[in-house]
Structure 1
């Protein structure tokens, strides 16, 4: 109902606006050969008003005050043109524009422009309320990727992004699990995950991370900034991952699109989108329905996604916006497998009664104000109102389901926050400098109810037999942050960045851990508050217009988590001086392009992760033994990340009527090891101490390589990709031989291939098809200790898909 109501309100507002138009600027943008230019940006300089040219190169700007203006027209590959004009009240004026082609500079936009393959690029030095200079970053252009976007296929989407490790155990595409540089992919929680620049997580520090991932069919691009993002966004070691949704179409009043996908195992996905611009208003909305039986036995998913965005130019200086996103899921989880079961048949399942559900509602308000031509302000307010619900038989996978009462676990998330950013440009050393500063407030509350006695049925039923839970915990995390970062340009080739972030975290926990013999076991209420600063430095040196060296150093931290403060048993002890994990990221790289046929980014990284938290056994004076959770050690990840893309046809022949071939390689060599980490074991009442120094960090393959080729001819293109991933350990002790429950043991190396193609039929229709896991490789990337396992979580075998796209 919320979604339908928003669309009705939107229609009313647009109808009202159409009656009240004041004036009109129209025209056509062409190149030097008088051919229309589609997608050019047409802006009123010094205002928030702007549109894009349509298929015929035409544009219209309506309802803005009479006065003197400067029209700014730009498009990648063409020179930016500024043209002054004046307009009176209720006047209609025509301005036709001719843009001249020119070689664009690396600082403005980095992309392999060869024959329209634009799937991987880098962020500009400064974009709206972002400083990206000196930072290792990537921009993934989803519209340019041949991939199974209906299923959010991660290894295809991140295929050209070096060093991204992926947990491939969720074939439904509902939840994304990715990481880089030896960090854990668990729910992508080492990244600061955002959508359109605001947080979508149920906790201000991202632990737990989002159970929500937007449909990739509506994502325009994914922005990734490695650890150096900690100053502007959040202190996570992994950096920033921001999903930028498709913006309202600024070239037309109304456009609609429908993508309908059919595939293996009963897959059906229908994605439907509308958007447009009318006067001061622009809008967009989508709805996606996706369901299927899953590749394994006892697998099923049924998801609904809806989103509305409305923006209004209240004046030439002020733009207001509202967004609302809703998701609901119904997922049957096949559970884990033992190693013997996996070898016998990786599609089998011994869990038929496990279900998972995540209703997710994210509202957001925004405002952007131009204080002056050199200074602008951005404000975002956002919230997350969500749940995480599971029911199932959760004992070790080597125990048969007794079909008794299932376990019910539920989390209720209430999060709200606000972020204010100021961007100011000024002149120093005869160069334009940029200062970015901001304030952030984030309040997240988690009401956790676990160990409930569920039904003996097999459906998705989260009711509890006695209406109560044995574990009832309340968590609250409040985060205040302030940051400032500046770009210092000394000349056209050299720049430095420097910044500081101040953080304050307040954590509160209380509740009931369990019930023993009818007696509640209550936790001592825990309150922690700490304040600290993070420092960041960076640099770029341009070798001409098209290549550059870059480097950065940025501090990071991972706060004491709610799970760290929750003892498994009341006899366990939490260190009262338990500290947040601290560390830093360092990058040094070289990136750019040669002509229009070669694009590259190669770099060395070093990630220091100190004060890692663990549990050791200790003895009381009476000889009894208890578990003590404290800061135990340090790990270091270092290695090489490289990405190259090469178009040999353009390089040697410049043009070809037989099509073009793009070859790419994304390579990462990662050495993630413990430098110092103490562990203990107990045998016959005796404590044995050892150190994991030299062990490989768990879930950190040393080799993450992806290679591919894209062939394009006219409106047809096809991409083949090979993922070559090295072995990894599932625990810090580097256990090779798996245990009976399959929760620890080696995760073998694997290779998997994907083949996808697309064909744009006329201007309104698109056909896409592909085969994922072309050779039907049987592999797994994760051994789960709990939900959705326990045990081995197999990746999907060979699947097929076909998509029909219609645009109106």
Structure 2
């Protein structure tokens, strides 16, 4: 026994000694003018090890074993360099690099490197574990924007992304409501919303509402892949929206950053960050505190966000990581307005006791193994432990809020977990270079929904109730999926993709639907189990080194959601016989750039949405109108999207001592209409038949145009932006005249302008300022059928902000 213990101890000492005897490489990366390149990527080919150069262009990679390596150095707009070398035990090798200018192609992430153009990028054909070739996609780099990031201002963040509609009813910046191509922006639920590649919604296949949005001050980029992402990420019609947080700073041991913002209506925000790398260990953490009174009366908010992340390279080929995100907030909901109230004073509120809170915890574990330069494997496990709690008066806005009456309390509890395994490899077939991506997914979502509780008469946020919740339901949703997608490179210019995804969704609903005089009305347990296949394919042709045609068609599927199956605490009525929706997305486009002064992407799209779920205005026997949520037959969204950004100074003069200018236009024409669907209503005791054919899809403006111009010189930059959005309808019936509760009717067209500026000085410091809604327009983007309405939810009028920060 003793000899065994001695053997184990001796082996551990050998291991520790081996780990102690490590080599390292360091050096400096410069350009042709001998200037240091900041943020250049320095990676060891075929491994998980890599760093970025610091503000002096320096890098260091520690903890390496002896052996042969290939170092790859790259930076946007410059030629990559590779160098093979051998390391001895305990050797510290210095390797300096000078990168030359290059005209680069769409095979890399597309970045316009001009000093003036600061446009959106596109994902590489193969990025990480995903195939993006042939697909309409965008990458929004937050560093490229002058925007009110402290308040997550969506119309500025998505300004260069054509066809994105935004619901601007949450001035606190807590929740995001965006959609594309005629889909519903309701808490972004038509997108598969992820952060760092994993789900952050309550349940992507059962309740995909995005109650959590990360602070934009910590987001490095937003990746958007339109509906063609359905094979690799899930069958949502809208596609993928992935928030990629800034990774641990791999250029220094410690980076410290702070950004502090103040502004209109008592706004104060403080964002604080620390991160770095020591040998094989990388870490990062941030905390954001934000509070204010809001533009409207009764719109107080107070939020806290925290995040921590660790990653460790166990070997050069194997890395593990863990991260956790927590958010909590207190948000007062001003409620809706009638049309008359909105016209009188859009800032007023007739609800002073409505509150909302969603504490949100998202933990995640990850592992990555690099088999070779061509083959690698990734695993993620993640969960959502969260709540959605509301209290207040949820009756029609025409109902007076009696301050001595009991409020209604509704609460959801989410306990969900999932796992994804992704594999990608490059291989040769018939002399052609191909890429295969495949994966497995398991997700288990559980929602405990408690509604219609009798709350207190208090003015503040509290969720105590008298007695039991009349409605107490339990939902369980299990999703299993497998997919593959392949790139076939037929020659250097032409490639095609093909793939399939198999999904299985099992949904169970049980519990108490209501209480009547103490007697429970229990539901018979309902289980829906369905399996289906999705197929997709595309093609891409590189017309030049810097431009390409692309096209893709992919099937989509939207299961009936939990919120669809039960009436929420609103004035809406829900059809009990809702069916799942099916359809497909098609794209054909041309994108690219001209030299380093013009960036463009234009495309035609077609979205076929069968059995679409939506709302229609009905009239009951009492001649009262109400919102009815049901399958509305088939809708088709088709149109054109275009994005162009141009830097005239670089185009005509190459260089300038007075600064650079970029002008952009993001334009979309969307024809989203219903096909044949018969309707009936009761008018004066008579049944009246109608048809939705030709009616416009609700919440789908025909034009979504945004224009802007940016001037920058050295560390100074200023951007003016205008959003010009067409009118829309709140219901599928296209009701022109609003009802008394303001839940149906026209959503008028509007134009709004923003102005933002930033100044970076002395390397480490910055100052930012801006005015949102420059001309103080009065407009709204949403008529809510229920919470946080009902009624018109006004967008914010003119507000300003100023911000100061540092980074060391």
TM-score by length of structure 2 reads 0.94
SS at match of 1:650: helix
Instruction: Output the CA distance in 1 between the equivalents of 2:119 and 2:108.
Output: 17
Which residue number corresponds to residue 574 of structure 1?
A: 576
Does the C-alpha gap of structure 1 residues 707 and 568 become closer, same or farther in structure 2, counting only changes over 3 Å? closer
| 1:291 and 2:283 matched | no
Which residue number corresponds to residue 466 of structure 2?
A: 465
Which residues of 2 match residues 316-715 of structure 1 at below 5 A?
316-403=316-403, 404-466=405-467, 468-566=468-566, 574-575=576-577, 579-613=579-613, 631-683=631-683, 687-715=687-715
Deviation at 1:391, TM superposition (A): 0.3
Does the C-alpha gap of structure 1 residues 121 and 617 become closer, same or farther in structure 2, counting only changes over 3 Å? closer
Deviation at 1:32, TM superposition (A): 3.0
CA contact (8 A) 1:597 1:651 kept: yes
Deviation at 1:134, TM superposition (A): 0.4
Instruction: Output the CA distance in 1 between the equivalents of 2:384 and 2:290.
Output: 22
Does the C-alpha gap of structure 1 residues 725 and 172 become closer, same or farther in structure 2, counting only changes over 3 Å? same
Instruction: Output the CA distance in 2 between the equivalents of 1:795 and 1:628.
Output: 26
| 1:803 and 2:806 matched | no
Does the C-alpha gap of structure 1 residues 531 and 279 become closer, same or farther in structure 2, counting only changes over 3 Å? same
CA contact (8 A) 1:512 1:523 kept: yes
Instruction: Output the CA distance in 2 between the equivalents of 1:450 and 1:500.
Output: 40
SS at match of 2:564: coil
| 1:25 and 2:25 matched | yes
The farther-off stretch of 110-119 and 753-762 is 110-119
Does the C-alpha gap of structure 1 residues 615 and 279 become closer, same or farther in structure 2, counting only changes over 3 Å? closer
The farther-off stretch of 323-332 and 80-89 is 80-89
Does the C-alpha gap of structure 1 residues 685 and 614 become closer, same or farther in structure 2, counting only changes over 3 Å? farther
Which residues of 2 match residues 122-141 of structure 1 at below 5 A?
122-141=122-141
Deviations 1:512-551 (A, max 9, x none): 1112233222222110100000001111100110011000
Deviation at 1:23, TM superposition (A): 2.1
Instruction: Output the CA distance in 1 between the equivalents of 2:616 and 2:705.
Output: 36
Deviations 1:105-134 (A, max 9, x none): 122121222116434111111110010000
Which residue number corresponds to residue 63 of structure 1?
A: 63
Instruction: Output the CA distance in 1 between the equivalents of 2:677 and 2:377.
Output: 46
CA contact (8 A) 2:308 2:324 kept: yes
Does the C-alpha gap of structure 1 residues 638 and 161 become closer, same or farther in structure 2, counting only changes over 3 Å? same
Which residue number corresponds to residue 766 of structure 1?
A: 766
Deviation at 1:469, TM superposition (A): 0.5
Instruction: Output the CA distance in 2 between the equivalents of 1:69 and 1:658.
Output: 45
| 1:225 and 2:225 matched | yes
Deviation at 1:613, TM superposition (A): 4.0
Which residue number corresponds to residue 12 of structure 1?
A: none
Deviation at 1:567, TM superposition (A): 5.9
Instruction: Output the CA distance in 2 between the equivalents of 1:218 and 1:66.
Output: 37
Displaced runs of 4 or more, over 6 A: 614-618, 627-630
Deviation at 1:136, TM superposition (A): 0.4
| 1:120 and 2:133 matched | no
Deviations 1:535-590 (A, max 9, x none): 01111100110011000000001101223333689x98733xx5310000000001
Deviation at 1:245, TM superposition (A): 0.3
Does the C-alpha gap of structure 1 residues 616 and 703 become closer, same or farther in structure 2, counting only changes over 3 Å? closer
Does the C-alpha gap of structure 1 residues 361 and 628 become closer, same or farther in structure 2, counting only changes over 3 Å? closer
Deviations 1:698-737 (A, max 9, x none): 0000010000000111110100000000000000110111
Q: Which runs of 5+ in 1 are unaligned?
A: 1-15, 619-626
Which residues of 2 match residues 98-109 of structure 1 at below 5 A?
98-109=98-109
TM-score by length of structure 1 reads 0.94
Does the C-alpha gap of structure 1 residues 258 and 131 become closer, same or farther in structure 2, counting only changes over 3 Å? same
Which residue number corresponds to residue 10 of structure 1?
A: none
Deviation at 1:486, TM superposition (A): 0.3
Deviation at 1:46, TM superposition (A): 1.6
Instruction: Output the CA distance in 2 between the equivalents of 1:782 and 1:194.
Output: 25
Instruction: Output the CA distance in 2 between the equivalents of 1:254 and 1:116.
Output: 31
Which residue number corresponds to residue 200 of structure 2?
A: 200
Does the C-alpha gap of structure 1 residues 308 and 170 become closer, same or farther in structure 2, counting only changes over 3 Å? same
Q: How many residues are aligned here?
A: 783
Which residue number corresponds to residue 312 of structure 1?
A: 312
The farther-off stretch of 428-437 and 635-644 is 428-437
Deviation at 1:22, TM superposition (A): 2.2
Which residue number corresponds to residue 8 of structure 1?
A: none
Instruction: Output the CA distance in 1 between the equivalents of 2:563 and 2:317.
Output: 46
Deviations 1:400-451 (A, max 9, x none): 1112000000000011000000001012354421100000001111100000
Instruction: Output the CA distance in 2 between the equivalents of 1:392 and 1:381.
Output: 37
CA contact (8 A) 1:615 1:679 kept: no
Does the C-alpha gap of structure 1 residues 752 and 568 become closer, same or farther in structure 2, counting only changes over 3 Å? closer
The farther-off stretch of 171-180 and 208-217 is 208-217
Instruction: Output the CA distance in 1 between the equivalents of 2:448 and 2:536.
Output: 35
Which residue number corresponds to residue 96 of structure 1?
A: 96
SS at match of 1:742: coil
Instruction: Output the CA distance in 2 between the equivalents of 1:655 and 1:454.
Output: 66
CA contact (8 A) 2:616 2:732 kept: no
Deviation at 1:683, TM superposition (A): 4.7
Instruction: Output the CA distance in 1 between the equivalents of 2:631 and 2:290.
Output: 44
Which residue number corresponds to residue 4 of structure 2?
A: none
Which residue number corresponds to residue 245 of structure 1?
A: 245
SS at match of 2:165: strand
Instruction: Output the CA distance in 2 between the equivalents of 1:460 and 1:506.
Output: 36
CA contact (8 A) 2:27 2:60 kept: yes
SS at match of 2:115: helix
Instruction: Output the CA distance in 1 between the equivalents of 2:57 and 2:630.
Output: 63
Deviations 1:68-110 (A, max 9, x none): 1111111122222111111122222212222222111122121
Which residue number corresponds to residue 747 of structure 1?
A: 747
CA contact (8 A) 1:574 1:628 kept: no
Which residue number corresponds to residue 776 of structure 1?
A: 776
CA contact (8 A) 1:649 1:655 kept: yes
CA contact (8 A) 1:668 1:703 kept: yes
Instruction: Output the CA distance in 2 between the equivalents of 1:432 and 1:490.
Output: 8
Instruction: Output the CA distance in 1 between the equivalents of 2:733 and 2:575.
Output: 23
Instruction: Output the CA distance in 2 between the equivalents of 1:674 and 1:615.
Output: 12
CA contact (8 A) 2:116 2:647 kept: no
Which residue number corresponds to residue 8 of structure 2?
A: none
Deviations 1:248-272 (A, max 9, x none): 1111110010000000000000000
Deviation at 1:26, TM superposition (A): 1.2
Instruction: Output the CA distance in 2 between the equivalents of 1:740 and 1:655.
Output: 60
CA contact (8 A) 1:204 1:477 kept: no
Instruction: Output the CA distance in 2 between the equivalents of 1:540 and 1:682.
Output: 53
Q: Which runs of 5+ in 2 are unaligned?
A: 1-15, 619-626
